[in-house]
Amino acid sequence: MRVDLARDTWGIEMKDDKLHLPIEKWDGTMTRGRNVFDANRLDGSAFVGSATALKPPAPDATTSAMPVMGLSCEGTAYLQFGSKMGGSGMAPGMKSMFDFLTEQAMKMQQCRAKKCDAKYIFSRPDFIRFFALYTPLAWLSAFTTPPDDKLFDIFTEKMVNAWNKLEISMSSLVGVLLTREDMNLDSLDVSINFKNVASCAAKDYSTKGCMMSMDLKSILGTASESAAVMGIKQCFSTSLSVPFPAGGMALTGSLGMTLAPLKTCKETSDCPVGFLCEDEILKFLITDLPDFFDCLISGCDEDTSGNSVAAQCKSTKGTSNKFMAELMKFYTSSQIQSDTVFGICVQKLSIPDNLESVVTVTEGKGKTEILLPALSTYSIGLERSSTGKTKVAVELS
**Are the CB atoms for 78 and 384 separated by under 8 Å?**
no
Say if residue 185 is in the same domain as residue 98.
yes
What pLDDT sits at residue 391? 40
Mean pLDDT of the region 223-235: 91
Mean pLDDT of the region 138-163: 94
Say if residue 30 is in the same domain as residue 159.
no
Residue 354's pLDDT band (cuts 50, 70, 90): confident
Q: Could you tell me if residue 93 is inside a domain?
A: yes
CA-CA distance, 68 to 239, in Å (whole number)? 31
Per residue in 8-49, pLDDT (tens digit) is 888 888 888 888 888 888 888 988 888 988 988 888 888 887
Buried b (16+ CB within 10 A) or exposed e, 349-375: eeeeeeeeeeeeeeeeeeeebebbebb
CA-CA distance, 342 to 18, in Å (whole number)? 51
CA-CA distance, 102 to 31, in Å (whole number)? 35
Domain residue limits at 36: 5-48
- Of 119 and 238, more confident: 119
Q: Could you tell me if residue 55 is inside a domain?
A: no
Q: Could you tell me if residue 270 is inside a domain?
A: no
Say if residue 146 is in the same domain as residue 37.
no
Say if residue 109 is in the same domain as residue 168.
yes
**What's the one-letter identity of residue 79?**
L
Q: Could you tell me if residue 57 is inside a domain?
A: no
Q: Report whether pLDDT(396) > 50.
A: no
Question: Would you say the pTM of this structure is higher than 0.85?
Answer: no
Say if residue 155 is in the same domain as residue 80.
yes
What pLDDT sits at residue 388? 42
Say if residue 119 is in the same domain as residue 211.
yes
Say if residue 168 is in the same domain as residue 218.
yes
Say if residue 172 is in the same domain as residue 202.
yes
Residue 78's pLDDT band (cuts 50, 70, 90): very high
Q: Could you tell me if residue 53 is inside a domain?
A: no
Q: Which of 84-98, 162-176, 308-322, 358-372 has the lowest mean pLDDT?
A: 308-322
Say if residue 118 is in the same domain as residue 74.
yes
Rounded to 5 degrees, what are φ and ψ at 327?
Answer: -65, -40
Give the total number of structural domains in the chain: 3
- Alpha carbon separation from 261 to 62, 79, 107 (Å, rounded): 13, 16, 49
What pLDDT sits at residue 309? 59
Say if residue 246 is in the same domain as residue 384.
yes
Say if residue 146 is in the same domain as residue 223.
yes
Say if residue 81 is in the same domain as residue 152.
yes
What pLDDT sits at residue 308? 58
Residue 160's pLDDT band (cuts 50, 70, 90): very high
Task: Calculate the average pLDDT of the chain.
Answer: 85
| Beta-carbon-side half-sphere exposure of residue 176 (alpha carbons within 13 Å) | 6
Per residue in 290-306, pLDDT (tens digit) is 888 888 877 766 655 55
Mean pLDDT of the region 125-141: 95
**Are the CB atoms for 82 and 251 separated by under 8 Å?**
no
Q: Could you tell me if residue 92 is inside a domain?
A: yes
- Alpha carbon separation from 1 to 4, 8, 10, 377, 396 (Å, rounded): 10, 13, 19, 76, 71
Q: Could you tell me if residue 151 is inside a domain?
A: yes
Q: Could you tell me if residue 269 is inside a domain?
A: no
